[in-house]
Structure 1
Amino acid sequence: MTTDRAYWKYWGKARKEGEAGTPYHLLPYHCLDVSAVACAWWDASTAIRRCFTASFSYPGLNQSQLRAWVMFFVALHDLGKFDLRFQLKAPEALAAAWQPLGPEDHGLATRDIIGFDHGWAGLAWANREYRGWLNCRDTDRETWSQWQPWLAAVTGHHGDFFVPEMPGLVPDTDETLAEHDRNARITFVCELARLFLEPAGLSLQQLPPSCSPAAQAWLAGFCSVCDWIGSNEVFDYRCDPQVDLAEYLTERIRKIQDESLLYRFGLLGKSSDYRGLGALLQTGESPRGVQVEVDNLPTTPGLTLIEAPTGSGKTEAALAYAWRLLDQGVADSIVFALPTQATANAMLARAVAFAERIFGTANLVLAHGNREFNETFHRLVESGRNTSAQGKTEAATQCALWLASSRKRVFLGQFGVCTVDQVLLSVLPVRHKFVRGFGLNKSVLIVDEVHAYDAYMHGLLGEALRRQKATGGSAILLSATLPASVRAKLFEAWKCDCTEAAPYPALWHAGEGSPVCLTLPDDQRPPEREVSIEYLKLPGAFPNADLLDRIVAAAKAGARVAVIMNLVDDAQRLARELRRETELEVDIFHARYRFIDRQQKEQIVLERYGRIAVRGKGRILVATQVVEQSLDLDFDWMLTQICPVDLLFQRLGRLHRHQRNDRPAGFELPLCTVISVETEDYGLHKLIYGNTRVLWRTEQLLAGTDRIVFPEAYRDWIKEVYSENVWDDEPDLVYADYLGWKDDQSRREAEAKRLTTMTVSAFRDEDHTVTGLTRDSEMSLTVLPLLSNGRLLDGRPLNTLNEWELAETLNLNAVPVPASWEKQLKECRVEQEGDLAGYLQLEMTNDEQDGWTSIDGKFRYTKDFGLERRCHRRCKNDP
């Protein structure tokens, strides 16, 4: 073998000085390690091939040629390491691979070496030298415009897409050394062309397929993960160029296949053969409602919308359909996104059972600190903690850092559960966003409760759906209460029209054409359900003394009572008043807890008010919107503050949710008491929901009836409340507020779309900043309660945690609060950089009453009531 080519003189991975083992790994070999992972993954996964084929279009291009282009570019991901400045990051490795070079030889400043970004340099060098590679003039830059998206995707594998111009690209060093680098780059590019392109009948003189933004993001995510795996130490270091590149590539591909590395790392997992929806049900149960239509949906990529009542089995229908798609090779994994942390946690137990049934031991199920993943995947995370000479720019280290947060692992396994925020981050300008997008595109994306999102979030979700379609992906959306206008927007994102009316429930599916609607046979339509309505107008929509007495009396009679408030402050106040009124148990549940405490609260609420709760005595739950979605709770009587009709219906889904023969006397039939304000001024309730018109219209319908009949109301009431037509008796103030709200929604949606077009990492991708990016400032501040000595409330010192443990610990101990608290928290310390960046550090002291009080006396925290303001002014947007 000829070893005098310049590219053999470069190291790609190097150990720290004095560390045991082969000191460095040749750069050409490392590049092929990553390509070997890409080759093996391509060959093993029909979903990967499908996504690439859908993403890249080119007349006359066959799949083997597309594979050749992909592998060629993936091998170029570390082109920027063929640069003296990178090589000098490990001078001992450079000396061994080529020759020793001291400052007197290269003349480079230390800052130029330390600050050198080989990812950015790779794209910049390509921009400067590509004409020599391709032997073309390209005066109009048309050729470069075809190559740049591909090169930007693979050289951006460390988290960002770069611009092709890099300040200080040409090093101020001896021209002989610079020429050595140039020679290495061009000979390596030509060698890769011979290795990958020529066997497929291609050459450097031909243009690669067009690469759209969605395709570029897909390729970048694929390359990043391949680099993470290819940088793992299951691939031994080779510092002796005794094996030519073709032979080495074949050897590495064989190793990956023979040792089943992609399966061992949790990136692939064979799902069991589809056995019908009945396989997901309990013994004695059979498919019902929308579930009976699942096998009539096509097994092709597309957007599916399931509209059905709460508790009607939509989740099982979605999982069964996703299983069918996996069985047909349309996808190789599932990502299930829910609106809140509470609903995601509630889903986890069902997810674990499903994953074990479908994937066996190959599954990866993650959500909010709860995790089950195979041991080798765990070792993949652990191995990256041993940093190399590259430090944090080492791919294995970046992999470990990224995966150290359980929220992110959800995208690389067979089945993951997360909040919708994690999905929306895939289209926002955060670091490694394209790894999220890659995980989504190869998966069946299931999004629950799609009615629960505002215009800003729908702007982001629409972009996520557009990219899912562009890469040949599939998505399943679930809702019980979806306005027709929102349904139309979701299908518009899939590039199809959906203005057709349909009976309720319904299943919609759109592939490449217009959506097809499946309706249920008569014997599977949901039975008629009637809910009695009591409508009250009280000051501030807050229960008065008479209503408090009724609540207490109901609990004494054995009823499980839910009182749903729109504001945390109101919920905390009401719970205290009720506890003064009765010795019975009064529980409180909302969103303003440390996450570690909220998890315990969720579990307690499910145990006391869930499907299998032990009954016999009454209880009262005071809660906020956290209980209105996806939680399997069952109440005998429900009271709720006024809210939009679709959210009211969601809340009613927790009233008499299950058939019981032991309801307490007086509560045999479902009754909901709706409490509204005394005037047309909805106050803070308007600030929460924004749209005064839907509040007013919902109230008018409630005032005109003493009952709601389902399932007809799902279509009739929602259609009437959300109609664009002006009601004859609609007050001018309500209409004017609606017009202002509509303009604001358009602005927010436009802002969301603008953010999705930004290509440079502008925001930190950390768990505590997620809602600030995905929810238009709602709950966008994150408070970290700390003792005066800098320890957590449980006494643990932060400085004893390593960076992998710290990320999860901070998330578990942080409290989300609304943006309106910013002024009251202005004295809190906020760091701009480092692990604590963005956290509002609220200094507290133990008050010896099972709680902690802030040093300034403005705030108090208890595990029972969460974070409270000692002043009694209420805040907006605080569920």
Structure 2
Amino acid sequence: MTPLGVLWGKSAGKAGGHTNLLLQHLLDTAAVAELIWDHYLATWVRQVLDDVAGDGVGRRFFAWICGVHDFGKACPAFQHLDAAGAALVRRAGLVWDERVVARHRWRHDRAGGLLIREHLAAARWSDLNIDWVWPLVAGHHGLFPTLGEVTKPDRRARGRLSGRTPGWRKAQSELLSAFTTALGYDDVAAAEPKLVPNRAVQLQLSGFVVMSDWIASDQAHFVGVDSLARVSMDGARERAGLAWKRLGLRGGWGELPPPGRDAFRQRFGDDPRQAQAMVVDIAARMDAPGLVVVEAPMGEGKTKAALLAAEVLAARWGMDGVFVGMPTQATCDPMFTAVRSWVEAIDPSLASQVALLHGKRMFNRHWRDLLEDDDPCPDDRFTGVEEDEYGLEDPYGVASGSTDPQTVPERRAPAEWFLGAKRGLLSPFVVGTIDQLLFAATRTKHVMLRMAGLAGKVVLLDEVHAADVYMSQFLAEGLRWLGQAGVPVVLLSATLPPAQRRELLAAYLSGAASYEDVDALDVGMVPEPDGYPSVTAVWWAGSAVGHAVQSSRSWRPDLQVAVEVLPERPGGSTDDPDAPSPGDEQVVALLRERLADGGCALVIRNTVARAQRTFGALRTVFGDEVRLLHGRLCATDRADRTEECLSLLGPPTSEGPGRPHRLILVATQIAEQSFDVDADLLITDLAPMDLMLQRIGRTHRHAGVRRPERVSEPRVVVTGFAPGDGAPPWFPQAATRIYGRYLLLRTAALVCAYAGGSWSVPGQVPRLVADVYEGDRQVVPASWAEAEREAQADWVARQRARAESAEPFLLSRRGEHTRPTLEGLHRGSTRDGLSEEHHRAMVRDGEPGIEVVMVRRDDHGYRTLSGRWLGVHGDASRDVLDDVLGGTVRLPTALTEEAERTLAPLEGWRDHPWLRYSRALVLDASGVARIGDHVVRYDRLLGLVEESRRR
């Protein structure tokens, strides 16, 4: 019996009741890869792989490299694992030492790395090509080993595990030859590519290998073929075609035509402003895919301009979709709606291909409605998946629904397959938090799937100034890989420090340039913008940096924002929301005076506790005219209050309730970005200048608003610090903990210098930001100089330490960006199987936060926060699910460890697809709960309050 008829790839238990021969699985995977090439890959990616393969045979090589991934199963170390399969293999004359294979564990992916090296060398492949191909085989289970790890068993045992006998070598050669010729090559030598792709392309290609394998490993669509007579490439293509239709997989635009002259009006309903037209024009003038940095004030319409620029870049360079990254989960939801509308305006059939990707997407009713039309709870199928070390477990299949591809219904959301763990970025169009891109720059398992998801897309990142020095390490790492892969990137910011802009440009270009040219890169030759709004675009022009820098006038004239200081005396820094504060008394007195004739004020505090305390003080005077908004409100309360604030203080409309006579909104930093409210007066705690200007963007924002005389002119009142009499100012401890003393000192100096005067916004924004962040600019008084030097030294040390603390998690280690292959990429990696919350903590430099679902318990059982009955076990039927999920709240990070240890789902949630992974915080009748040694209280006005720590 020929070895090809007995070597097995999937046991009967994992292949629908019939053993799947190894050759069949390789062909199945190759057939899936052909469909990925034909119906999913972007034109840009296909062109790159055509260049790699040479002679226009990119499709064939792509199928070959995907199919050959399991070549390592053709050895004793794997074939002995299934008793029935092993018996047939031994009967065919392929034997092994049972003691050796039982004693030495050798994964088939790593075995494949070694075997493919040896057999490609025998086929006279060049060392350069062997060196980049074997890691793709050895790493197809998500981690790229070193060559030493691949050859880990001692030499004698390795020979017995891999099959060094003539019979095994012959069987392996026959398998590789049969697979290769089935794809149309004359022999294995003919499959050798003509060029070595760069490392980013290798990583993306590796992701497509995994994607092909996961689809071809689904026993619902690929039942085992145990007879060699029925093994064929034609059969594999038929099986793959049916699976593709049943799964409903597809790509994005395909060949996207360039947008016409009226495209902006067609997409968004109005003509572009000057700054918007400038962004689109720059994108059309770039000579290669590159990085576009758009800096413009709040309300300028950056997002619409960026979307049309993405359309231009996609059409010019053959990109097939977009990833839109937002700073927070809350800002993702409205962007999801906007992107769906934009995609639908281009091609109505593509609106269903837009995915929402963040940890709280199940709370988005629009997203859930789209899913429920297709499947009640598709997200559940992909939660908590574990992969067997030897690849025998294939938990990646999904229920296919109808087995007749002709009756598969039209979906309103992306294919279920794309909704699985680690696969979200593979959807053609994605809106998610920026964390999704940052995850793709971490040395974590299956990172290649995330990079494959970004291949052939245009990446658009909003509010990039929100990335601090720690997050910026991951952002820069991601930009290097995207630059190397030729992925166009558009970055949006209202207030970007010049040094940060230069760092982003340098990161992208260092990836885009060839290895030998990296040292010659000179970002300094890219001029600074000379106006605001501005666009800075860079690209690698083959041997030099190409660039285009342009500025324009804003669509509205500058506002002269009066600057006023309201000193806060020491003693108002406590984080106890019930403690009195002199600072709150001053805020109350000021608002009594300024709003005597009415008006709407926004008060921004730097911590939740300060916001809660200020709200309490104001409410005793102004009653129901005060609102509170912060991140520790439950999902329902936060959504309701956000909607109310946007309705009352948003753009004037004929349908709205109208602007109230008087309203005071107390908020935290969540009001800094993507929050379209318009206040007559802003009172804000001191923060670094760029964040202060973001906050100022919420005042006198809309035209046509009638304002009382006392607040008719834009004004910012800065509090949360106390200027000294010639001495450096006092800052609350919480402020220095969040922002650092150095930036607060420099910002305070500018606030004091302009007090009694005004800032010209947005025209003066770039200069104000540069004055704070460019350390060589003298802005503090001479009497503060020593304090500034000490603060700067501490700030520099902290910045350096935070940057260094990111290094262990970055995808490439320091000094390894110019390595030619993926060998050892995951060396020393311990970040496997992390939840999204732990990933967020990794890329945002913080303790992993935790969300809990609050319920009330009385003598009769459990109820939702709104009072709906859940029974004695907490059962949540579909009609009360929204109420239950509405009780979700994020705990302070200090409570995370105790919450993970002590909180669990309710008994009635354990079989619920969405709630069984949710921890319940059970409140008593007074709204109090205990988390370990901590006592918390949920108040419908204040939100979650940390009461005390139990003794």
Give the TM-score of the pair, scaled to structure 2.
Answer: 0.77
Q: Is 2:741 the partner of 1:692?
A: yes
Q: Is 2:584 the partner of 1:544?
A: yes
Deviation at 1:90, TM superposition (A): 5.3
Do 1:640 and 1:672's aligned partners in 2 also have CA atoms closer than 8 Å? yes
Amino acid at match of 1:340: T
Q: Is 2:602 the partner of 1:615?
A: no
Query: Secondary structure of the equivalent of 1:485?
Result: helix
- Summarize deviations over 1:66-88 as a string: whole Å, max 9, x none: 54443322112122333556556
**Match of residue 606 from structure 2:** 566
**Match of residue 67 from structure 2:** 75
Deviation at 1:708, TM superposition (A): 1.1
Deviation at 1:750, TM superposition (A): 3.2
Alpha-carbon separation, structure 2, partners of 1:464 and 1:56: 25
Do 2:458 and 2:489's aligned partners in 1 also have CA atoms closer than 8 Å? yes
Do 2:618 and 2:626's aligned partners in 1 also have CA atoms closer than 8 Å? yes
Are the structure 2 counterparts of residues 796 and 201 from structure 1 closer, same or farther at C-alpha, using a change threshold of 3 Å? farther
Do 1:84 and 1:177's aligned partners in 2 also have CA atoms closer than 8 Å? no
Query: Secondary structure of the equivalent of 2:173?
Result: helix
Are the structure 2 counterparts of residues 763 and 390 from structure 1 closer, same or farther at C-alpha, using a change threshold of 3 Å? closer
Q: 2:342 aligns with which of 323, 339, 354?
A: 354
Are the structure 2 counterparts of residues 112 and 324 from structure 1 closer, same or farther at C-alpha, using a change threshold of 3 Å? farther
Alpha-carbon separation, structure 1, partners of 2:194 and 2:379: 35
Q: Is 2:591 the partner of 1:591?
A: no
Alpha-carbon separation, structure 2, partners of 1:384 and 1:340: 23
- Summarize deviations over 1:516-544 as a string: whole Å, max 9, x none: 3343456x664222222222211247733
**Match of residue 490 from structure 2:** 476
- Summarize deviations over 1:422-451 as a string: whole Å, max 9, x none: 210111122222211111232111111111
- Summarize deviations over 1:560-615 as a string: whole Å, max 9, x none: 32211111111122222222333224332222355676555544443444335533
Matches within 5 A, 1:637-656: 637-656=681-700
**Match of residue 560 from structure 2:** 530
Alpha-carbon separation, structure 1, partners of 2:536 and 2:585: 48
Are the structure 2 counterparts of residues 244 and 823 from structure 1 closer, same or farther at C-alpha, using a change threshold of 3 Å? closer
Do 1:334 and 1:446's aligned partners in 2 also have CA atoms closer than 8 Å? yes
- Summarize deviations over 1:483-524 as a string: whole Å, max 9, x none: 1100000000022515512222111211214353343456x6
Q: Is 2:7 the partner of 1:10?
A: yes
Do 1:291 and 1:314's aligned partners in 2 also have CA atoms closer than 8 Å? no
Alpha-carbon separation, structure 1, partners of 2:925 and 2:378: 44
**Match of residue 721 from structure 1:** 772
Alpha-carbon separation, structure 1, partners of 2:712 and 2:139: 62
Alpha-carbon separation, structure 2, partners of 1:7 and 1:90: 17
Q: 2:797 aligns with which of 739, 743, 763?
A: 743
**Match of residue 935 from structure 2:** 858
Amino acid at match of 1:152: P
Deviation at 1:317, TM superposition (A): 0.6
Alpha-carbon separation, structure 2, partners of 1:78 and 1:193: 13
Query: Secondary structure of the equivalent of 1:737?
Result: helix
**Match of residue 892 from structure 2:** 817
**Match of residue 463 from structure 1:** 477
Are the structure 2 counterparts of residues 681 and 310 from structure 1 closer, same or farther at C-alpha, using a change threshold of 3 Å? same
Amino acid at match of 2:36: W
Do 2:282 and 2:548's aligned partners in 1 also have CA atoms closer than 8 Å? no
Query: Secondary structure of the equivalent of 2:151?
Result: coil
Do 1:559 and 1:636's aligned partners in 2 also have CA atoms closer than 8 Å? yes
Alpha-carbon separation, structure 1, partners of 2:152 and 2:504: 40
Do 1:594 and 1:814's aligned partners in 2 also have CA atoms closer than 8 Å? yes
Matches within 5 A, 1:654-733: 654-678=698-722, 679=724, 680-705=729-754, 706-725=757-776, 727=778, 729=782, 730-733=784-787
**Match of residue 240 from structure 1:** 227
Alpha-carbon separation, structure 2, partners of 1:378 and 1:771: 27
Are the structure 2 counterparts of residues 713 and 596 from structure 1 closer, same or farther at C-alpha, using a change threshold of 3 Å? same
**Match of residue 877 from structure 1:** none
Deviation at 1:10, TM superposition (A): 3.5
Do 1:133 and 1:186's aligned partners in 2 also have CA atoms closer than 8 Å? no
Do 1:566 and 1:641's aligned partners in 2 also have CA atoms closer than 8 Å? yes
Gaps of 5+ in 1: 874-879
Matches within 5 A, 1:824-843: 828=902
Q: Is 2:355 the partner of 1:365?
A: yes
Query: Secondary structure of the equivalent of 1:444?
Result: strand
Q: 1:344 aligns with which of 315, 332, 335?
A: 332
Q: CA RMSD in A?
A: 4.7
**Match of residue 54 from structure 2:** 62
Matches within 5 A, 1:45-194: 47=42, 50-51=44-45, 54=48, 62=54, 64-83=56-75, 86=78, 91=83, 107=98, 120-127=107-114, 130-135=117-122, 143=127, 146-162=129-145, 163-167=149-153, 183-194=170-181
The worse-fitting range, judged by mean Cα deviation, of 809-818 and 706-715 is: 809-818
Amino acid at match of 1:614: P
Matches within 5 A, 1:146-295: 146-162=129-145, 163-167=149-153, 183-196=170-183, 198=185, 202-203=189-190, 209-210=195-196, 212-232=198-218, 233-235=220-222, 237-243=224-230, 245-248=232-235, 251=238, 264-270=248-254, 273=257, 274-275=259-260, 276-279=262-265, 282-295=268-281
Deviation at 1:326, TM superposition (A): 2.8
Deviation at 1:657, TM superposition (A): 1.8
Are the structure 2 counterparts of residues 671 and 210 from structure 1 closer, same or farther at C-alpha, using a change threshold of 3 Å? same
Do 2:203 and 2:448's aligned partners in 1 also have CA atoms closer than 8 Å? yes
Alpha-carbon separation, structure 1, partners of 2:440 and 2:162: 43
Deviation at 1:552, TM superposition (A): 5.7
Deviation at 1:223, TM superposition (A): 1.3
**Match of residue 535 from structure 2:** 507
Deviation at 1:337, TM superposition (A): 0.7
The worse-fitting range, judged by mean Cα deviation, of 662-671 and 247-256 is: 247-256
Do 2:684 and 2:718's aligned partners in 1 also have CA atoms closer than 8 Å? yes
Do 2:856 and 2:863's aligned partners in 1 also have CA atoms closer than 8 Å? no
Query: Secondary structure of the equivalent of 2:937?
Result: strand
Are the structure 2 counterparts of residues 386 and 218 from structure 1 closer, same or farther at C-alpha, using a change threshold of 3 Å? closer
Alpha-carbon separation, structure 1, partners of 2:395 and 2:216: 12
Alpha-carbon separation, structure 2, partners of 1:13 and 1:633: 58
Are the structure 2 counterparts of residues 26 and 449 from structure 1 closer, same or farther at C-alpha, using a change threshold of 3 Å? same
Do 2:898 and 2:931's aligned partners in 1 also have CA atoms closer than 8 Å? no
Amino acid at match of 2:536: W
Deviation at 1:309, TM superposition (A): 0.8
- Summarize deviations over 1:122-156 as a string: whole Å, max 9, x none: 33344157435532899xxx83x742442322442
Are the structure 2 counterparts of residues 174 and 477 from structure 1 closer, same or farther at C-alpha, using a change threshold of 3 Å? closer
Do 1:535 and 1:673's aligned partners in 2 also have CA atoms closer than 8 Å? yes
Same amino acid, percent of matched pairs? 23
Query: Secondary structure of the equivalent of 1:530?
Result: strand
Are the structure 2 counterparts of residues 23 and 106 from structure 1 closer, same or farther at C-alpha, using a change threshold of 3 Å? farther
Deviation at 1:642, TM superposition (A): 0.3
Are the structure 2 counterparts of residues 415 and 377 from structure 1 closer, same or farther at C-alpha, using a change threshold of 3 Å? farther
Alpha-carbon separation, structure 1, partners of 2:773 and 2:889: 37
Alpha-carbon separation, structure 1, partners of 2:641 and 2:422: 24
Alpha-carbon separation, structure 1, partners of 2:135 and 2:694: 45
Give the TM-score of the pair, scaled to structure 1.
Answer: 0.82
Are the structure 2 counterparts of residues 137 and 841 from structure 1 closer, same or farther at C-alpha, using a change threshold of 3 Å? same
Are the structure 2 counterparts of residues 799 and 172 from structure 1 closer, same or farther at C-alpha, using a change threshold of 3 Å? farther
Alpha-carbon separation, structure 2, partners of 1:388 and 1:725: 53
Query: Secondary structure of the equivalent of 1:643?
Result: coil
Do 1:10 and 1:87's aligned partners in 2 also have CA atoms closer than 8 Å? yes
Are the structure 2 counterparts of residues 620 and 15 from structure 1 closer, same or farther at C-alpha, using a change threshold of 3 Å? farther
Deviation at 1:354, TM superposition (A): 1.8
Q: 2:464 aligns with which of 450, 472, 487?
A: 450
Amino acid at match of 1:364: V
Gaps of 5+ in 2: 400-415, 510-520, 574-580, 813-824
Amino acid at match of 2:3: A
